[in-house]
Structure 1
């Protein structure tokens, strides 16, 4: 397990919760792979969280591609898994599509969304910002409507990343996702 307390990485202090979502209306979610919320993936007082998440994601083969907020409309990605590292503020996010589960995430937390998982910003406090990373070789899209059967098959056939975006070879992605494969 990787630890680098200088950059706020301390795997021993990271807790996580994982849950599966059923398809909901036009949002496919992912029947096999759970959503994972990492609590205190980085220590909030450790400095530049955005840069630290970028370093962490890069080290674990989930290169960061952008910094911003989360869209305030329901959407999902069919062509890539996604990890969102909260680099500032806090927010309530609906996961699973309209009427889905509301989760609260705060600076230092990370949210791992398997391809097909609906998400939408419900509310936020302070200067809410996330850093988004995607597995090497996967390019994200934005979907707001149901997938065709062929698109759903392609989404379900996406390769599993070899490393957890937070804990490398020891995190919940390895524990839950690779076991589901």
Structure 2
């Protein structure tokens, strides 16, 4: 099992118990109106997954995701409207500030995220920023060979088919090959 720890401007690996000490909260979300969520895969919320230090904390989160096989794609925030991705699983690494994210659609779960947290969203999971600090910043990443779409309306049969065929990532973006995702995400 591989995890990364920031040491000044450098990243070092943590193996075994050190990388495992931070088990995520895992929870399922039921469909909510037009938001499908994912009937088979739980959302994973790692609290304080990576200590945020140094002049470029995003680089540490990007290094963690890269080392664990989830190539980073962007640095930004989370949209303030409900949406989901039908063509990719997504990981959000919080690198600055805090936010209240509504996960699962308008009637979904309100989750507080802070710098250092990581949230893994299975394809179909609704999410929205319901309020954040001015410095809120996120690194977004996806499994290899998965490109995300942006859905803001009812799911189509074609999108359901695509979601059902998405491969499971071989690694957890925080804990690597032996991480929680590899134990908690499996075929129905």
User: 2:34 & 2:175 partners in 1: Cα distance?
Assistant: 32
- From 71, 77, 99, give the equivalent of 1:91: 99
Partner of 1:123, secondary structure, is strand
Aligned residue pairs total 180
Partner of 1:15, secondary structure, is coil
> TM-score scaled by structure 2?
0.90
1:17-66, Cα deviation, whole Å (9 max, x unpaired) = 00001111010000100000011110134653210111111111110000
- From 68, 74, 85, give the equivalent of 2:82: 74
Please list every run of 5 or more consecutive structure 2 residues that lacks an aligned counterpart in the other structure.
Answer: none
Please name the residue that 2:38 is paired with.
30
Please name the residue that 2:66 is paired with.
58
**Alpha-carbon contact 1:49-1:108 (below 8 Å) kept:** no
Moved over 3 A (4+): none
Please name the residue that 1:133 is paired with.
141
1:114-154, Cα deviation, whole Å (9 max, x unpaired) = 00000000111240000000000000010001121122121
Partner of 1:127, secondary structure, is coil
**Alpha-carbon contact 1:66-1:132 (below 8 Å) kept:** yes
1:3 deviates by: 4.0
**Alpha-carbon contact 1:88-1:126 (below 8 Å) kept:** no
Partner of 1:147, secondary structure, is coil
Moved more, 129-138 or 168-177: 168-177
User: 1:132 & 1:75 partners in 2: Cα distance?
Assistant: 15
